């Protein structure tokens, strides 16, 4: 019988325990597809006594996860600890230095240190696999790196954070304010006690940095991304978007053109007819546009024990079969040096929501500022009048395509108007 692939799993939280469970429950199927059994032989976690719902007897236990890199009884290291630094980084670097394949679900580690880790893996000739790092069980990495390898990718985009998508869905369906929807997401376990990484767009940006590197064959560069979250999206914005024929989603979008690569994460208004507008709840979606294939969209659960473990085990099956792709789609020497395009040069249409005093001439003042900035209005929507003199009312404007720098300059001037009583809300309009 072919010798089993011996796996060491570091981190026994939701994902790590899910990997052990999936390998046990689908052992026969996985062995058939891998060409040999895949067996966990060693584990590590901070709390050895915690009940994780999976049997751990007979497995070697390491307090120091990085020590497993030297274990001759471990063929492949699986890292599900999380975090860009600390134990996770030490383990992955030690394993690669020892010439051992690594499978990781750690998007932060790859987004911030992927260039160096990719170089280590290439120099040792071992796989660094990370299907689970982006969009959970959706095979987005394989699709970009392998399935679409013959294409010049023009754009990759998607809903990359299920927590934000759940919050925005609940705000729309149930009419909740942002704070209410966030609290509900925390109660259900979709959001952490400190939800900053999710709602401020950082988690989605980590994933977009990885997708952009694969799509455009360039070194991963998290620092080049423009990142905004959903804290500023209100129930009024959700309702106004519907009235205008749009739906609000937090999107990650990366495009490549003659001048370079632009990558950004921020709330977007997408047309109701767009397929991505109908991706609700905790689901993720990834859209890729290639010159030969056209548009491809993948949708599914982007997190959780089952979907993420599915992606981890898929990578283990590849390693068992000897399938090994370059970390970033091509050798380091063949990666592109295309520059990053700053957000200020982005061109697109915009939605503006202003809370203004209900006085004559207010709209004329706003229109004059937009005109001076070379920005053309497409539509205006005002719901209701102030019941009392001087009461604030919402006014919504949409614009034709213009440059981000001009819009931001105009927005700063509008915010200084005496009749504008709150910081204006800006959401970019995307025709995905």
- Which stretch of DSSP H or E encloses residue 341? none
- Identify the active-site residue in 100, 107, 142, 207: 207
* Active site annotation includes 100: no
Strands 246-257 and 347-357: unpaired
* Dihedral-angle region of residue 108 (phi above 0 means left; psi in -120 to 50 means alpha; beta otherwise): alpha
Residue that the structure tokens 């047309």 belong to: 271
* 137 in Cβ contact with 282 (< 8 Å): no
* 82 in Cβ contact with 103 (< 8 Å): no
Rounded Cα distance between 347 and 93, Å, is 40
What is the token pair recorded at 257? 């053109």
* 168 in Cβ contact with 250 (< 8 Å): yes
* 210 in Cβ contact with 329 (< 8 Å): no
Closest to 217 (Cα-Cα) out of 271, 275, 145, 270? 145
DSSP state of 144: I
Rounded Cα distance between 269 and 352, Å, is 11
- C-alpha distances in Å from residue 344, one per residue of 269, 352, 407: 19, 17, 9
Rounded Cα distance between 64 and 87, Å, is 8
Residue that the structure tokens 């046990």 belong to: 24
- Which residues fall within 8 angstroms of residue 298, CB to CB, at 6 or more apart? 135, 138, 139, 140, 143, 285, 286, 287
* 286 in Cβ contact with 211 (< 8 Å): yes
* 200 in Cβ contact with 226 (< 8 Å): no
Burial grade of 96 (CB within 10 A; 0-12, 13-18, 19 or more): buried
HEC string for 44-106? ECCCCCCCCCCCCCCCEEECCHHHHHHCCCCCEEEECCCCCCHHHHHHHHHHHHCCCCEEECC
Give the active site residues: 207
């Amino acid at each position: 019988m072919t010798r089993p692939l011996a796996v060491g799993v570091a981190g026994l939280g939701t994902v790590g325990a899910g990997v052990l469970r999936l390998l046990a429950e689908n052992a026969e199927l996985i062995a058939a597809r891998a060409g040999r059994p895949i067996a966990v032989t060693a584990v590590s976690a901070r709390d050895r006594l915690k009940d994780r719902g999976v049997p751990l007897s007979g497995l070697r236990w390491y307090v120091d996860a990085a020590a497993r890199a030297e274990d001759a009884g471990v063929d492949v290291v699986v890292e599900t600890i999380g975090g860009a630094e600390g134990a996770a980084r030490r383990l992955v670097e030690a394993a690669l230095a020892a010439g051992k394949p690594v499978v990781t679900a750690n998007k932060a580690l790859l987004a911030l240190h992927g260039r160096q880790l990719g170089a280590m893996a290439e120099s040792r000739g071992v796989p660094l696999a990370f299907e689970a790092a982006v969009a959970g069980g959706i095979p987005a990495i394989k699709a970009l790196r392998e399935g679409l390898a013959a294409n010049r990718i023009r754009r990759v985009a998607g809903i990359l954070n299920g927590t934000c998508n759940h919050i925005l869905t609940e705000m729309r369906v149930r009419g909740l304010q942002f704070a209410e929807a966030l609290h509900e997401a925390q109660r259900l376990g979709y959001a952490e006690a400190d939800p900053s990484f999710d709602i401020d767009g950082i988690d989605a940006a980590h994933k977009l940095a990885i997708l952009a590197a694969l799509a455009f064959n360039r070194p991963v560069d998290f620092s080049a991304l423009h990142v905004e979250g959903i804290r500023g999206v209100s129930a009024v914005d959700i309702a106004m978007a519907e009235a205008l024929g749009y739906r609000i989603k937090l999107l990650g979008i990366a495009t490549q053109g003659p001048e370079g690569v632009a990558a950004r994460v921020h709330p977007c208004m997408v047309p109701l007819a767009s397929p991505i507008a109908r991706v609700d709840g905790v689901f993720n979606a990834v859209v890729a546009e290639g010159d030969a294939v056209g548009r491809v969209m993948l949708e599914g659960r982007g997190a959780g024990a089952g979907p993420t473990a599915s992606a981890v085990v898929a990578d283990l099956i590849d390693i068992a079969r000897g399938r090994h792709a370059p970390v970033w789609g091509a050798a380091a020497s063949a990666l592109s040096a295309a520059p990053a395009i700053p957000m200020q040069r982005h061109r697109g249409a915009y939605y503006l929501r202003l809370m203004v005093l209900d006085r004559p001439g207010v709209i004329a003042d706003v229109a004059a500022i937009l005109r001076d900035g070379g920005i053309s209005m497409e539509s205006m929507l005002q719901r209701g009048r102030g019941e009392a003199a001087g009461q604030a009312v919402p006014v919504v404007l949409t614009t034709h395509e213009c440059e981000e720098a001009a819009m931001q300059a105009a927005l700063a001037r509008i915010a200084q108007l005496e009749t504008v009583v709150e910081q204006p809300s800006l959401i970019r309009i995307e025709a995905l």
